[in-house]
Amino acid sequence: MFEGVTKKGYGFLGVILGLYAAIIILFLTIPSPNTYNFLVRFFALTGFYCIAIATLMTPFVKEIYKEFGKPFMKIHHIFAAIGITGATLHPVIFAIQVSDIAVFLPDISSWIAFWELAGRPAFILVYIAVGAAILQRKIPKYWRAIHSMMYVVLIFVYFHAYLIGTDFDNLGILIIFTILFFASMGAFVFKRLQKMDIIS
């Protein structure tokens, strides 16, 4: 698995794993009242983190191949798969905890309620974006635009976490994920500029 990885590649991997370890350590400093709460929080943070890392990679296809010795999509898909798993288990476990499937339905009762529960539309958009990637050969003109909704997912998830997320009360976690969020948005802009040949 690690064949072909350069020293810089190991360095990047070390930063990614080290940052995740820091998140988990901070996460463990916040008590969970029960196992459900522990798992809901854990999968929320893991899902958000890995999806953010996957999006951050998108403008650096050549660099990823050079430093990791693997095709970009293989590395990208590892983080995306873990992120989607976390993003799925987070609401599923919460739905089991509260015995209510309404947790999957967007709340449009008010502007504040929508953003507090923005994880709900984010959950739907995740699977639309994933579906577009799976069907890319059948919709070659549109799949990239649809798949780009993952950036909208990050916006929804960030504000959902910021407004009602337990772990975002921890300053360290808030800072880490805020940096990740803005870095992901920056990656989106960077990639658009690459496509317009404004930057290389």
Of 50, 121, 128, 115, the C-alpha closest to 84 is 50
**What's the number of domains the chain is made of?**
1
Of 142, 115, 118, the C-alpha closest to 128 is 142
Of 112, 118, 149, the C-alpha closest to 131 is 149
Q: What pLDDT was estimated at residue 65?
A: 83
Cα torsion 130, 135, 140, 144 to 10°: value is 0
pTM value is 0.92
Name the residue range of residue 65's domain: 7-195
Q: What pLDDT was estimated at residue 199?
A: 66
- 1 lies in a domain? no
> DSSP of 53-72, one letter per residue?
HHHHHTT-HHHHHHHHSS-H
- 200 lies in a domain? no
- 167 lies in a domain? yes
Q: What pLDDT was estimated at residue 193?
A: 84
- 2 lies in a domain? no
Q: What is the DSSP letter of 1?
A: -
For each of the chain's 200 residues, which pLDDT tens digit applies? 566 788 888 999 999 999 999 999 999 999 999 999 999 999 999 999 999 999 999 888 888 888 888 888 888 899 999 999 999 999 999 999 999 999 999 999 999 999 999 999 999 999 999 999 899 889 988 898 999 999 999 999 999 999 999 999 999 999 999 999 999 999 999 888 877 777 65
- 33 lies in a domain? yes
- 32 lies in a domain? yes
